[in-house]
Chains A and B, each alone.
Chain A
Amino acid sequence: METDVLIIGGGPAGLSAAYETASRGLNVTIIEETWYLGGQLVQQTQSFEDMPNHYRQLCGFEIAENLIKKVEPFGIHVLTDHTLIGLYENGEMGISNDRDVFPVKASKIIMATGAAEIAVPFPKWTLPGIMTAGAAQILINRDRVLPGTKTILIGSSSFAFELAKQLHEVGIEVKGIVEQQSDIVLQNNCLIDEIEKLNIPILKNTKVIEAEGKGQVETLVIESNQGPQRIDVDFVCLDGGRNPILEAFLIANCSLSYRKILGGWVPDYDLNFETSSEGVYVAGNSTGITSKAAIFLTGSLSGISVCESLGKINSTEASQMKNLFWEELYQVEQQVNLEGWNSRLKHIEGYMGPNSHQSLSGIGRKING
């Protein structure tokens, strides 16, 4: 099989890149491991503030529907239930549909494989009923299955707070949000008030001792200054944060750098989101986890860069568009995650050399100012 642009991952980043490339006449193929497009947005019933302007009023799954509609007219070749599993010696990608493995030859590749959740280990954390926060969200919102009736959340990111609300809404008793540290650090402190109004206890300075249960979790033992406490539960949600999924980049021999703020190891990339492997670009959470807006905007930026290098737009037009997307990203992130924005620029600098982002006229000045 041959295509101009091969996109690995049909989440919001992959779809944003697909829009920019396919709408300019390129032949685009999306490889998606699951049976649907939309990625992790599909189970998100909340709306987000850290979004590009035109998406701010919508909740996650509506944005996904929007994006899918937006790319529909351009005849993108969508292969769901297909997975990237390897790379051939001649640079073609090895795609599997569970029966056959076949090569795809592409002029440019955009990898948008998203992020994975990090587990929180403690004795017997592998008992059935103990799952990541994202797994619980997928069960209630995508699959419409209740994972249980009473739960406790371990970890206190804004995602845990969001999830606690959603679990409460569907009638699950949330017995607390457990945080080892003495502080809860959120971008949006309204979430704390909302959780307190729902009478969900926020248990700071508390650590997990172990889980107990016969054949499945029945009790979670936690400990604070006031001593140990046994919580009666039938499932537990773990929120250990997320990191970029790296496997596709490792297969394509892309170099990586460690950036704690971006989520750990992240593929190296330049201002065009091209990795160290020529013709392989990156988009979405795989570029580092900063804001929701970054997922879409890095998708668009990689798409524009691919169009430019395949001669679909000239460099003047391309740099105008890229500046607009970078500017928008800066506008969002200076409000919600300046640390993430700075870390991304450091990441680019680490790969491209000092001050390499100065070419972003205007935006470059703001960084130094």
Chain B
Amino acid sequence: MDNTTIICRCEEINQEEIEEAIQIGAETFDDIKRLTRCGMGPCQSKICMNLVSSIISEKTSHPLSQVPVPRLRIPLRPIQISTLATGSSNFSSVKSVMDEVELDERR
């Protein structure tokens, strides 16, 4: 591996960018995610999680058992904006939030 090796292919983040984040204090996947977008792509870190954890472990000398996994957020898969906002015949949590907005504010 060299510095240009891509680690997060969804967001095109390379080894160097991850090491830079660690240099300025990142210790967990989530720290790196907030600094670089690493892990925020379509696979939601399924591909890069292990690779990033190994780099963190190597650079910080923390064993892998002390490098926590990223916090995953709902929804786990992309869903249509129409499902979220309107249109859907079924309940969704975000729709219920939208329902609280006054009708004319929505327009």
Give A contacts to B, CB under 8 Å.
83-89, 94, 96, 98-103, 116, 118-119, 121-123, 125-126, 240, 243, 245-248, 250-251, 256, 258, 260, 264-265
Contact = CB atoms under 8 A, between A and B. Distances in A.
Contact of A85 (B1, B6, B79): B79
Given A101-B88, A119-B51, A246-B69, A251 B74 contact: yes
Interface of B: 1-2, 4-7, 9, 15, 44, 46-47, 50-51, 64-65, 69, 71-72, 74-77, 79-80, 83, 88-93
A277 to B, nearest CB: 15
A86 B2 CA distance: 37
B23 to A, nearest CB: 20
B75 A96 contact: yes
Contacts of B76: 83-86, 247-248, 251
Contacts of A246: 69, 72
B64 A85 contact: no
Contact of B6 (A126, A256, A260): A126
A206 to B, nearest CB: 15
B88 A121 contact: no
A265 B75 contact: no
A245 B77 CA distance: 14
Contacts of A126: 6, 9
Nearest to B76: A85
A258 B75 CA distance: 25
A99 B69 contact: no
Given A246-B69, A250-B69, A260-B64, A123 B1 contact: yes
Contacts of B75: 85-86, 94, 96, 101
B88 A123 contact: no
A256 to B, nearest CB: 7
A247 B93 CA distance: 19
B17 to A, nearest CB: 14
Nearest to A241: B50
Contacts of A88: 93
Given A101-B92, A102-B91, A121-B51, A96 B1 contact: no
B46 A247 contact: yes
Contacts of B91: 101-103
Contacts of B46: 116, 245, 247
